[in-house]
Structure 1
């Protein structure tokens, strides 16, 4: 099953921009006004997580506000959230915890159903835990609390393995997979797993999150929020990205804009279902406006004889626009050099070591 169609468009607005990982004081942001602006531009799908504290609380309040509900019917929106990840090192995939998390999300959004619920960063738990959590979400889908079930995480190949195992052992596929930092100007390895997602795993749609690699692919480097520097990119990759950003600026361009154009265009061109849905960042009116205008540069309308109403009218990959950017794309990738398609470990060695210590203590 696939929740995305022409009425929802190719873009999801991510909620991490209202988390303490990204900004120092998310509660100071005008969230309702920002969401209303995103809706006015044509964005209809929104993704968050309890782990992005306090993003889900802030977004839930916005989507429960009469100023929004009086103008945008619930049936016109896609609300996506996650479950299972509590903090950076704590996960609870037990059936009771999954149910409690979903119910809490329903309450926060003042809704009777959620369009998609993902298990958050599923590669951090055992396969038994992963399958148990997805089984619980399938049950909640049957009960009407969830429309679509998904899994999310970092490594596409691992997510594909898990998705295939879910279909084999639970007898049905997950509807949606969300992966991040694997379809951008530095790393395009998501493409290698698309065949398995849409083939053996039977997944309905794959979402590409973090098209600028969690802020790495921009002038100024990774964002630093209340929780400090959380980004796992090593020094060499950061230095190469900074060098590339300087080069792009010297060409009269903006690194973040170019990286977003690359991610949107490349994914739209290679996604086997012709959808190429990208999760955008943006925690302010200015950022969202800029990102939407950037996305529109890589897409075109089906019918140019009519006037576009909003972002959803831009549904087709614009190959001609992409080709114009190819010299810049090549220049950046040449500078990144050895760091092209580099991936970090997820989970990393420190997490695995800590988990092993906990297991030994529990014996």
Structure 2
């Protein structure tokens, strides 16, 4: 069985509905310690498992260097996405989110550094990181700089890693080929905006759709990418009675959460990161099953409907 592919909006690229997020390769102290050989085995397993989209960032520590060293020779096998606006060196004494600089000089320096680290002559997608306002983009001529880099052949498509409150105006700007948006079963605040982005012809990459979406069987809830408190996620899950629904369906929480995300009709791909080979294998096995059955998805959507919907 293979992972389903979908077209990434107007880019025309066919990407697997499960992508790999390389943040977990950033290394100590922000992430798990991982050796070069282990990272290499994991990244090759990503490609061998059928995933053809990899998302990284200059903010993600050593991830770009590990990708370049481990699978740079397999570059034609995957759609490669990185980001811009990040500082060239991550501050050692500052916790994320880090300060960002969307000026032409820094955006260009980000892209040039990523090309070197990733050992490639082009980035398929460069996403503006951390969702700046449209006013900030205009003041810094960020989009114009990205278009220049595109015209030079260094990047192929321009994207935005967007969240509320600025995501609606970013979509309305109608300049981005792809949006990366947080979303999960219990974090549905951006659900309609995913639909809106897809409606403009843009591709959609969903983050937070698995690891931060629901309580895993062996760990507590984690804080979501849009600032959802851990106890709020637990409250939403329990109030919806999802465990009872899953007991009837014979499905684990992990499978349900990932497949719920995959069921959004506006989704192109969801990005899931891990440094654990067993978790990677499990994610691939679930993604191969694809979206939830229609009846289960609709009942889950009703149960998990936000209180203000």
> Which consecutive unaligned segments of at least 5 residues does structure 2 have?
1-8, 88-95
CA distance in structure 2 between the partners assigned to 1:188 and 1:48 by the alignment: 24
**Is the 1:216–1:241 contact (alpha carbons within 8 Å) kept by the matching residues of 2?**
no
Alpha-carbon offset, residue 118 of structure 1: 0.5
- Which residue does the alignment assign to 2:269? 277
1:57 aligns with 2:29: no
**1:177 aligned to 2:176?**
no
Q: In the alignment, which of 292, 296, 302 is matched to residue 288 of structure 2? A: 296
Following superposition, the deviation at residue 186 of structure 1 comes to: 1.3
Task: Give the Cα–Cα distance (whole angstroms) in 2 for the partners of residues 189 and 241 of structure 1.
Answer: 13
1: CA distance between counterparts of 2:225 and 2:156?
A: 32
Distance (whole Å) between structure 2 residues aligned to residue 292 and residue 22 of structure 1: 25
Aligned to 2:255: 257
Shift of 1:297: 1.8
The one-character-per-residue Cα deviations of 1:33-53 (angstroms, maximum 9, x if unpaired) are 111111112111100111122
Which residue of 6, 20, 23 corresponds with 1:16?
A: 23
Q: How do residues 1-363 of structure 1 correspond to structure 2 at under 5 angstroms?
A: 2-6=10-14, 8-19=15-26, 23-27=31-35, 30-64=38-72, 69=73, 72=74, 74-86=75-87, 87-123=96-132, 126-128=135-137, 132-155=141-164, 158-165=166-173, 167=174, 173-180=175-182, 182=183, 184-194=184-194, 196-198=196-198, 202-212=200-210, 214=212, 216-219=214-217, 220-222=219-221, 232-240=227-235, 243=238, 253-265=251-263, 267=264, 270-271=265-266, 276-299=268-291, 321-324=293-296, 329=300, 333=304, 338=307
- Measure how far apart 1:177 and its partner are: 1.0
CA-based RMSD: 3.3
- State TM-score, norm by structure 2: 0.78
**Structure 2: how far apart are the matches of 1:112 and 1:263?**
33
Q: Deviations over 1:93-145 (max 9, x none)?
A: 11101111100000011111000000101237853457622211111000000
- In structure 1, the gaps of 5 or more residues are 168-172, 300-318, 342-363
Partner residue in 2 for 1:308: none
Larger Rg: 1
Match of 1:352 in 2: none
CA distance in 2, matches of 1:187, 1:57: 32
